[in-house]
């Protein structure tokens, strides 16, 4: 989407030119799911689907910012959530930078909302990028990502990890991001041209709240508390071994949740090795194993996610498939031989829709840059 169009829509809605236009990408997570809030490793890839924010300082300066946009036009819940994200990041930013001016904002873009592609983080980071530009605040991606994480947690009541915000803020074109969620250090991983990443939107949506997501995090914290009884050096599930879990006295649900995280935390490094070698089958197997663990141990998959991944794996050009994002609905991804992408989509999409009667969307994504300022005129 052209930034000039977003600026034009801001002008029509607010009666003046925007002071700044910023954008941030969505992301897919190749592997490393529900490990970020356990101090672990993740391997997201920012994508060439973006959320745009055209914005100008709110007047008078002491009023709450107005938030509108094409993405929100027919969804009052989305309107309310977006206003909450904006107010959350504004509060967090003002703690570090007192006196910054709030911005009225028009939201637009080609990033599906509520699909597991981190649209909420893209909104928070794009708005933060605009805030920094409009208030002459230096842009430092990882510290801003921390503030955006805090703001989103306040807005949603979900104790989310740092992966989505860090990816949206700091992504790099052509690369996946191996992120150490304890140190917040990044290793850039070039994506092989021979392998395509296909997003498979199941057509189902989920809203994260204070229930399933937070329950899983609570299980992880309970497992750590039990392991610490015999291994006090443990700070998070990142530090836990399978042997630690065997020694700990855990109920069945807590043990299964912890087993997923402990095993999943090893997969990002293995995926980096596979991608560096262009080894599609090895990378795909890691994705298949991850999905099985999320389905059977962490229990965050869904019937539609399972069906779309199964349908993808039946195609000979597909190396592997898994849900991406927190789960409970939304999107899955498949690693596919780049030369066979068109045939893969033409074959798998109608097969999935025939099984589910759901309207789906399949599209190839490429690694894109993180948050940036956009030209407001064509």
What is the full DSSP assignment across 85-110?
HHHHHHHHHHHHSTTPPPEEEEEEES
Cβ atoms of 61 and 103 within 8 Å: the answer is no
pLDDT reported for residue 154: 75
pLDDT reported for residue 84: 84
Q: Would you call 196 exposed, middle or buried from its count of C-beta atoms within 10 A (0-12, 13-18, 19+)?
A: buried
263, two tokens:
């095993």
Buried b (16+ CB within 10 A) or exposed e, 226-258: bbbeeeeebebbbbbeeebbeebebeeebbbbb
How far apart CA 137 and CA 97 sit, in angstroms, is 8
120: nearest Cα among 94, 157, 93: 157
Name the catalytic one among 104, 164, 201, 368: 164
pLDDT reported for residue 151: 84
Question: Partners of 374 in the beta sheet?
Answer: 21
Average pLDDT by consecutive 10-residue portion of the chain (378 residues)?
A: 87 94 97 96 98 93 84 67 86 91 93 88 95 95 94 75 96 98 97 97 73 87 96 96 95 97 98 97 98 97 96 98 91 98 98 96 98 83
- Has domain 3-190+368-374 been given CATH number 3.30.230.10? yes
How far apart CA 274 and CA 261 sit, in angstroms, is 20
pLDDT reported for residue 207: 55
164 is catalytic: yes
How far apart CA 37 and CA 349 sit, in angstroms, is 33
DSSP H or E run through 378: none
* C-alpha distances out from residue 273 to 177, 284, 305, Å: 13, 12, 27
């Amino acid at each position: 989407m052209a930034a000039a169009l977003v600026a034009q829509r801001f002008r029509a809605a607010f009666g003046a030119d925007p002071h700044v236009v910023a954008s941030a990408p969505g992301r897919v997570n190749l592997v490393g799911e529900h490990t970020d809030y356990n101090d672990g490793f993740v391997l997201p890839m920012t994508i060439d689907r973006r959320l745009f924010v055209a914005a100008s300082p709110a007047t008078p300066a002491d009023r709450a910012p107005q938030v509108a946009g094409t993405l929100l036009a027919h969804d009052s819940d989305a309107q309310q959530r977006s206003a909450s994200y904006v107010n959350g990041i504004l509060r967090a930013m003002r703690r570090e930078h007192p006196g910054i001016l709030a911005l009225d904002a028009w939201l637009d873009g080609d990033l599906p909302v509520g699909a597991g592609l981190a649209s909420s983080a893209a909104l928070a980071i794009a708005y933060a990028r605009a805030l920094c530009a409009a208030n002459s605040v230096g842009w430092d991606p990882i510290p801003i990502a921390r503030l955006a994480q805090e703001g989103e947690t306040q807005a949603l009541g979900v104790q989310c990890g740092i992966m989505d915000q860090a990816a949206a803020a700091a992504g790099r074109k052509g690369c996946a991001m191996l992120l150490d969620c304890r140190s917040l250090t990044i290793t850039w991983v070039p994506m092989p041209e021979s392998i395509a990443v296909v997003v498979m939107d199941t057509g189902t949506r989920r809203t994260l709240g204070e229930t399933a997501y937070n329950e899983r995090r609570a299980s992880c914290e309970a497992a750590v508390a039990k392991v610490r009884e015999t291994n006090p050096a443990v700070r998070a599930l990142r530090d836990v071994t399978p042997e630690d879990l065997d020694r700990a006295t855990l109920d069945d649900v807590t043990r299964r949740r912890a087993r997923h995280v402990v095993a999943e935390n090893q997969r990002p490094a293995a995926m980096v090795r596979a991608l560096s070698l262009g080894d599609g089958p090895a990378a795909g197997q890691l994705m298949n194993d991850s999905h099985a663990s999320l389905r059977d141990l962490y229990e965050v998959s869904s019937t539609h996610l399972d069906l779309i991944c199964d349908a993808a794996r039946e195609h000979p050009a597909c190396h592997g498939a898994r849900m991406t994002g927190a789960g409970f609905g939304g999107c899955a991804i498949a690693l596919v031989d780049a030369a066979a992408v068109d045939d893969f989509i033409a074959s798998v999409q109608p097969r999935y829709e025939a099984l589910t009667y759901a309207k789906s969307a399949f599209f190839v994504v490429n690694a894109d840059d993180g948050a940036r300022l956009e030209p407001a005129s064509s």
